[in-house]
Chains A and B, each alone.
Chain A
Amino acid sequence: MSIDRRQFLKIAGVSTLLGLGTAAAVNGIRRDDVEASQMEPGPDALKAKRWGFVVDMSKFKTEEDYARVVHACHSIHNVPDYGNPKDEIKWIWKDDFEHTFPGQEDTYMAAEMKEKPFMVFCNHCAQPPCVRVCPTKATFKRTDGIVMMDMHRCIGCRFCMAACPYGSRSFNFRDPRGKDESGRPFIKELNPEFPTRTKGVVEKCTFCYERLAKGLKPACVEASGGGIVFGDLEDPNSEVRQLISKHYTIRRKPELGTQPSIYYIVGGNENA
C-alpha cells in the first residue's frame, strides 16, 4: 500500500499535534506538585481593605523635607537617575498646585497658592484605568487596593502610560543597571534587598508592598515626619479617615471617576 503526499502530510500533522498535546498534558500534571496553599502572608503583614494616603503639605517646610521623602523612596527601590527628563523615572516627586490640580484655573488666585508644592505619586485608584487597559495583567489591583506592577510580565506596550491621567508611570527607556558616558552608574547605590528593573518595562510607586509585608510603614510615610499618613480608607476609625473627616481634602481629577486613594489636605494646620 502506498500513500500519496496529501495523506502523508495529514498523518504527519495529526501525529505532531498528538505528540505535542500529550507532552503538554504530562507537563501540566507534573508541574502542579507544589500546592498554592503552601503560601501565606507573613505574621507581621499589615492588612487593609483599601490602602490610602492623606498628604498634609503644611508638614513640608523646607526643600530638605521634600528631598528626604523622595530619597527615602527612590534609594530603597533602586530608582535610577538618568540625569535627563526624557528618560526620567520617578515614583514620588513634587509639583506645584497649578499643575497638580489642573482645571482649577483662576486668574485671581495668589501666586503663592499656585506655586505651592504638592507631593505626587501613584494614586492607587479604586477604578484604575491602567489596570483596565493592560493586555497581560502585568499591572493589577490587589485585594487591599494597591495597584501593583508585575515586572516579570510587563511587555512594555505602554498602554498604561497613555491611560494614566496622573502621569504616575515611568518607562525604562534604557537599562537602569547601566552607566552614563562618564562611567557614573544610573543607580548610585544598589539596595541589595530590592530588585532593580530591566529595560523595556513600566514602573511606578507600589505602596511599599514589600515593607507592608514585613509590618513596616511605606518609606515615604516614615520619612515625611507626619506629612504623609497611610491607612485603611474602608476603616472609619483609621487615622486617614479621621483626617479626612476633620479637614477639607481634595483629590486629583476626581471628575474622571478613577477614585484616587490619595487625599490632600489643603491649607493644613494653619486654617484647620
Chain B
Amino acid sequence: MYDSGKIIAGLLVFVSIIAFPFVYNIGADIVKPEPKIDTPVIQQMAVKQCVEPKEFMRAEHMQLLNKWRDSAVRDGNRVYVGSRGDHYNISLQNTCMHCHSNKKEFCDSCHNYMAVKPYCWDCHIAPKENSL
C-alpha cells in the first residue's frame, strides 16, 4: 500500500470524529422523555383523549398536522372528523395548544430529545407559559 502512514492517520482522524458523539455521551444521564399531559384543561376532561388515539398521535402527529395545515389553509376545511366520529376545529394554536398548554413539557421535551426543530413556532404563538 502506498502512503500507508497518511492513510492510517487519515482513517484514525475519521474514526475519531465519527465516534465522538458516542464517546462523548457515554455515561451521560439521558432520560427518556415523558411528555406531560397534566394541564388544567386536560385534567378537567371527563374522558382524557386527544383527537386520535394516543399511539397514533405519538407516531403520526406530524403527518396529521401537515394535513390539518393544508386542509385549513388551502381547502378552507376547518373541521376535522376524528376516527371516533367527533368533530374538532382545525387549529394548532386554538385547538392543540388549548389542551396542551404546556409546550415546554409536552412538545419540547420530545423534540429536544430527538433533536428536531419543527418551524411551527416561528409563526404560531405558543401559550402564555413560554412567551416572555
Chain A residues packing against B (C-beta within 8 Å): 31, 33-34, 36, 38-43, 45, 78, 140, 142-144, 148, 150-152, 177, 190, 192-198, 209, 213-214
Q: Is the CB of A40 within 8 A of B93?
A: no
Kindly provide the distance from the CB of B130 to the nearest chain A CB, expressed in whole angstroms. Answer: 11
Smallest CB separation, B124 vs chain A (Å): 5
Where chain A touches its partner, the secondary structure class is: loop
Assembly CA distance A195 to B121 (angstroms): 9
Tell me how far the C-beta of B82 lies from the nearest C-beta in chain A, rounded to whole angstroms: 7
CA distance A195 to B93 in the complex (A): 8
B45–chain A nearest beta-carbon distance, Å:
21
- Interface: B3 (CB within 8 A): no
The CA-CA distance from A140 to B81 in the complex, in Å, is: 26
Of the residues B60, B77, B123, B125, contact of A41 by C-beta under 8 Å: B77
> Which of B19-27, B62-70, B102-110 is near enough to bind chain A?
B62-70
A144 touches B76 (CB 8 A): yes
CA distance A59 to B86 in the complex (A): 45
> In whole Å, how far is B112's beta carbon from the nearest beta carbon of chain A?
20
Could you say which residues of chain B place their CB within 8 Å of the CB of A192? 93, 125, 127-128
A151 and chain B: residue at smallest CB distance:
B123
Residues of A within 8 Å of B63, CB to CB, are 31, 34
Known: A34-B60, A41-B76. A197 touches B123 (CB 8 A): yes
Would you give 27 A-B contacts (Cβ < 8 Å), ordered by A?
A33-B60, A34-B60, A36-B67, A38-B80, A38-B82, A39-B71, A39-B75, A39-B81, A40-B79, A40-B81, A41-B79, A45-B76, A78-B125, A140-B74, A148-B74, A151-B123, A152-B69, A152-B73, A177-B122, A190-B131, A192-B125, A192-B127, A192-B128, A193-B94, A195-B93, A195-B125, A196-B123
Contacts of A196 in B (CB 8 A): 123, 125
B80 contacts across to A, CB distance below 8 A: 38-39
